[in-house]
């Protein structure tokens, strides 16, 4: 698929209104597996029926000027290696309220959940091997999970969010076992929950600083400088939190894939290829599918003062929970499972 064919949020919503739950399709009859001899993780492609061509296309959604509403913690404060950021379904800032990205992703998530639950009810899928005689497709789990978060835990009570959150994965580069042995540890730091060593790893995507446009495209055909840490270092998994900060505006491509393991039947989202960031400085701690008009949209806020949190702090805090209280799964409060994704074909 050409990256220039990435789907716009408005096209997602148009497709849903036109085709209902059939606007997305998952080829569950032909999943890929991590190990054919001992399959523990299954991968299923998800496509969307484009409202203009009426053909099913790989579900990759282009997002422009979306604000980060739950940023990345420093490595030692992360439960696992996995790096995630969150946006809101509805933007708070007045100038961003026309953005349909959150609404479109919520629509995908809810439709996905409806389809998985319906397949479970009618026996099309099952996690019971005995049901294979009934014609069911057997998976390790049929518990639907999506990046849509509708609740938080506060004072041991589950509270519904008026403005749900949506989580994006930001992957690190893959390493062979031999390569992993050569990676350096960040001091003596370990991840908080699984106590694995914090190894310094490259990111799987390029991250660009929209405030630093190059006078001309460089030899790699890039238009902007790479994002840097507070000390001017290239970004990796240990310093990304210094650049991709709360309330920054982000622009990129979101890739959807279904990943099924013993934990869940999971709609996985990852930022793909490149991420363009208009960094919020007030927070302390090739052709990649974008056209000239997209860059103009990205840069429309560049000359204004640095992005700041909402002036009405009480209103904002009533909608956005502190990161420490976030439950990243609406059903049980578990962290998203860490499973490898397959390479795009």
Is the pLDDT at 130 greater than 70? The verdict is yes
Can you tell me the mean pLDDT for 323-338? Answer: 33
Q: Please report which residue ranges of 80-215 form alpha helices under DSSP H.
A: 101-121, 177-181
pLDDT-derived band at 309 (thresholds 50, 70, 90) equals very low
Structure tokens at 122: 């009618």
Is the pLDDT at 313 greater than 90? The verdict is no
Contacts of residue 97, defined as CB under 8 A and 6 or more positions apart, other chains included, come to 90, 91
Contacts of residue 41, defined as CB under 8 A and 6 or more positions apart, other chains included, come to 33, 34, 259, 260, 261, 339, 340
> What is the structure's pLDDT at 39?
84
pLDDT in tens, 51-109: 999 999 999 999 999 999 988 999 999 999 999 999 999 998 888 889 999 999 999 99
Give the C-alpha separation, 71 to 83, whole Å: 10
> What is the structure's pLDDT at 228?
97
Mean of pLDDT over the chain: 84
pLDDT in tens, 246-285: 999 999 999 999 999 999 999 999 999 999 999 998 755 4
Q: Which carries the bigger pLDDT value, residue 307 or residue 259?
A: 259
Structure tokens at 278: 């208009």
Is the pLDDT at 45 greater than 80? The verdict is yes
Q: Which carries the bigger pLDDT value, residue 301 or residue 216?
A: 216
pLDDT-derived band at 35 (thresholds 50, 70, 90) equals confident
Please state, for a pLDDT cut of 70, what percent of the chain lies above it: 79
Looking only at the bridges linking them, the beta strands covering 206-213 and 265-278 are parallel
Is 142 in contact with 127 (CB distance < 8 Å)?
A: yes
Looking only at the bridges linking them, the beta strands covering 265-278 and 144-145 are parallel
Q: Where are the domains of the chain?
A: 3-323
Is 254 in contact with 236 (CB distance < 8 Å)?
A: no
């Amino acid at each position: 698929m050409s990256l220039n064919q990435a789907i716009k949020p408005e096209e997602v919503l148009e497709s849903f209104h036109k085709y209902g739950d059939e606007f997305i399709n998952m080829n569950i009859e032909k999943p890929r597996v991590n190990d054919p001899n001992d399959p523990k993780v299954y991968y299923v492609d998800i496509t969307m029926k484009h409202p203009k061509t009426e053909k099913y296309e790989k579900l990759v959604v282009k997002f422009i000027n979306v604000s980060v509403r739950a940023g990345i913690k420093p490595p030692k404060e992360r439960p696992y290696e996995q790096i995630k950021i969150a946006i809101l379904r509805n933007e708070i800032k007045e100038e961003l309220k026309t953005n349909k990205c959150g609404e479109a992703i919520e629509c995908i998530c809810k439709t996905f959940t409806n389809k998985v639950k319906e397949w479970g009810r009618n026996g099309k899928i099952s996690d019971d091997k005995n049901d294979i005689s009934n014609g069911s497709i057997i998976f390790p789990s049929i518990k639907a999970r999506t990046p849509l978060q509708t609740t938080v835990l506060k004072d041991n009570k589950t509270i519904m969010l008026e403005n749900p959150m949506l989580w994006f994965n930001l992957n690190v580069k893959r390493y062979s076992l031999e390569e992993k042995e050569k990676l350096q540890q960040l001091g003596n730091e370990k991840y908080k929950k699984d106590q694995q060593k914090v190894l310094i790893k490259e990111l799987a995507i390029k991250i660009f600083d929209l405030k630093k446009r190059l006078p001309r495209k460089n030899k790699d055909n890039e238009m902007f400088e790479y994002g840097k840490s507070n000390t001017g270092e290239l970004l990796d998994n240990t310093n990304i939190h210094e650049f991709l900060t709360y309330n920054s505006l982000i622009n990129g491509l979101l890739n959807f894939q279904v990943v099924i393991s013993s934990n869940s039947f999971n709609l996985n989202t990852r930022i793909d290829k490149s991420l363009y960031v208009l960094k919020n400085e007030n927070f302390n701690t090739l052709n990649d599918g974008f056209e000239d008009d997209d860059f103009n949209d990205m840069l429309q806020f560049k000359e204004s003062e640095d992005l700041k949190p909402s002036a009405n702090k009480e209103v904002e805090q009533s909608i956005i929970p502190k990161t420490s209280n976030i439950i990243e799964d609406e059903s049980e409060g578990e962290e998203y499972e860490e499973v490898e994704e397959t390479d795009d074909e």
